[in-house]
Structure 1
């Protein structure tokens, strides 16, 4: 806490301010800032929050916001190096609110060091997080001024805790910018050969088949890596985290998609697969053991239905040993980043526009 004298209070210029305050303090050349030495005699100012619900974060990209959520994941603290060689500390946590969406919060510095593991499944109020978006995924980043309030006591927090206690076993959605419904980056399967590494695009297609034998696997609770089973199934080992006492089932769906131009094999990981199937992998894994027919039906129900996929292209080297001098071919790996049911209204508009371009000679596909 500081005393500030000879400063001006003005209306905040929203063009250069990331916070939501209407007023700001502007320091002048003759302004004085002195540390408050009689702090114990002064009552702590009440922290006022203006919470943004997680499913609305896409409207606040690059803006400073407040958020209220229940902690559903606490990652390990990581030691990093900045470009200047400075030691940095980072910890990722995930929070969910009653919108049914969750978001990753990146804590830095001292906040990453001291974040308590006991906060798991407890309510957390945070003031002053920066909203970031990378390749459609939204995250929140702590700053020096960020304030964390553990187990707050106000009506919104109590209501959230009650909601979470009733819904903690449900599948939550990841906060993201809805890029999958856009036709600006649309491709047909035949056009995928023109893609480049790291490129993202949308694809309208149906699923012709899903390889269901290894569709779910036992994974580490911390990093989601597949666990090795030892001692007749009594011991689980993660290649990254070591011995695990518990596990969770996750999806890895290998699928074949098709449209009128061809077919392509893609992989959908846990979040996207769960969104597609409509059930958590734990529930589907039970069917694999106790009801094989229902297990198969869980996957058959999504076949030959129109979807819109958000795909990412990743190039991998593949050595061809069939020739005398082995050559490395470039093979693409396609991963599903998001999926929605076909938005027919916008799809019809897109097709009409495509037909117009073809008629005028603008759109040429070879």
Structure 2
């Protein structure tokens, strides 16, 4: 069967092993392919990937190379180095393998994507979950003793092309930022290619954004470099991403890495048919919650807490953010920074610079526009009977909080209507509401800080609030008895 259409950043066609004097056996003993004795790899000891662990010895696996990175250079305390990694699959699962320095040079050109190999004598260690989303507790390192032998074509027919470990789009809201995952969905919309210039390196990068949807949610996906250029813009394809990074800016986003695999309409998974049928029948007409705009996703009950419990219970200090409901009053809002001039591109959201000549420049998009959008970025203090806390509110939530659109507020600011702005804030102050908060600590300039974001603000439904209080009283009484 033909291989799935997989796009890889910087991928290229490598010469086949048959082009190299038809020699199939190679290992880490030197820099060239060498004929090996037939007993170099013990094919009687073939085990499945899912059984590998660091305590095994004298094992052999029969695997297909599903992806391979380019060689990357790095610098650490021991000096410069180089590495590449590849993903290996068999019928039981998948595992990531890496090769450094000498082994990097020896093995990079020899392993070909899509080909099947016997591999023996590599080391195993626990997988680094920040960079490895494969469904395996371990990852592999090729060393000086590693031996690899290419299988004949007919020997490898039973080995799958790729293994996916999909999570629903809604689950991305609960995963730590900067981790990687596998996800599949339908492309509902796609942008043109944009070119941006890196502030640090001054290099140009191409990017393209997709809106990916499944049955319960949607999310923005950014493709970078060659992946953005190679993406085939067919009519609402089903697209699978393997090893894509989770971002966290006022909501969740996805962004491709050099190692990310992109497969359009993949034949390896039943989800392709399920999503195609769902989208054509009803999905294309649905307005789904957008994680990239901070949409409220999740079936779990969000607990009510007090502001003091944020500190006493250590909320936000784990890998995953904490979500709570608070009944609180707005006591202070920073007026001067409540709105900003935003890039008019729908999915950018960055601040533009007023060039003072009727144009506005977006550094992220590297474009100049003759207009902009007003957008909220509110910093507010809320209080309850146990304490006070500063929170951030953006866009829809800020608009609900102030009761006026960002465009209207921005125009009042532009026209210096200070009295009207003061009235807007005054109506908001000392008004008790229910705030759903997202709490997460992060590192900023080597310092840990707590980010508390308003995900939803609503008026108090006093009847449901009363029922909740009665339930809490009953729970306390049952404990006392």
TM-score (norm 1): 0.53
Residue correspondences, number:
321
Deviation at 1:259, TM superposition (A): 1.0
Deviation at 1:256, TM superposition (A): 2.9
The answer for the alignment partner of 2:407 in structure 1 is: 285
User: In 1, are the aligned partners of 2:391 and 2:453 still within 8 Å (CA)?
Assistant: yes
Secondary structure class of the residue paired with 1:13: helix
* Alignment map for 1:50-129 (pairs within 5 Å): 53-57=168-172, 64-71=182-189, 76=195, 93-99=209-215, 101-105=217-221, 107=223, 110-111=226-227, 114-115=229-230, 119=233, 123=237, 125-129=239-243
Deviates further, 341-350 or 218-227: 341-350
User: In 1, are the aligned partners of 2:330 and 2:430 still within 8 Å (CA)?
Assistant: no
The answer for the alignment partner of 1:146 in structure 2 is: 261
The answer for the alignment partner of 2:438 in structure 1 is: 310
C-alpha RMSD over aligned residues: 6.7
The answer for the alignment partner of 2:390 in structure 1 is: 265
The answer for the alignment partner of 2:290 in structure 1 is: 172
The answer for the alignment partner of 2:341 in structure 1 is: 218
Cα shift readout 1:319-365 (whole Å, capped 9, x = no counterpart)? xxxxxxxxxxx9x88541644779979998889889999x9xxxxxx
Secondary structure class of the residue paired with 2:50: coil
Q: 1:347/1:47 Cα in 2 relative to 1: closer, same or farther (>3 Å)?
A: farther
Separation (CA, whole Å) in 1 of partners of 2:263 and 2:197: 20
When Rg is computed on C-alpha atoms for both structures, the one with the higher figure is 2
Cα shift readout 1:234-291 (whole Å, capped 9, x = no counterpart)? 42233553522453442222333111123333221347647x6699x9x65369879x
The answer for the alignment partner of 2:105 in structure 1 is: none
Deviation at 1:11, TM superposition (A): 6.5
The answer for the alignment partner of 1:41 in structure 2 is: none
* Alignment map for 1:178-193 (pairs within 5 Å): 188-189=307-308
User: In 2, are the aligned partners of 1:253 and 1:273 still within 8 Å (CA)?
Assistant: yes
User: In 2, are the aligned partners of 1:180 and 1:340 still within 8 Å (CA)?
Assistant: no
Which one of the candidate residues 90, 94, 118 is aligned to 1:27? 118
Which one of the candidate residues 446, 453, 459 is aligned to 1:336? 453
The answer for the alignment partner of 2:107 in structure 1 is: none
Unaligned runs of 5+ in 2: 4-15, 18-23, 26-42, 54-62, 64-86, 94-115, 121-146, 154-159, 413-419
The answer for the alignment partner of 1:227 in structure 2 is: 352
Q: 1:244/1:196 Cα in 2 relative to 1: closer, same or farther (>3 Å)?
A: farther
User: In 2, are the aligned partners of 1:179 and 1:310 still within 8 Å (CA)?
Assistant: no
Deviation at 1:46, TM superposition (A): 10
Deviation at 1:96, TM superposition (A): 3.0
Give the structure with the higher percent strand. Answer: 1
Q: 1:270/1:288 Cα in 2 relative to 1: closer, same or farther (>3 Å)?
A: closer
Secondary structure class of the residue paired with 1:224: coil
The answer for the alignment partner of 1:40 in structure 2 is: none
Separation (CA, whole Å) in 1 of partners of 2:328 and 2:210: 32
User: In 2, are the aligned partners of 1:180 and 1:308 still within 8 Å (CA)?
Assistant: no
Deviates further, 202-211 or 159-168: 159-168
Separation (CA, whole Å) in 2 of partners of 1:53 and 1:201: 19
Deviation at 1:213, TM superposition (A): 8.5
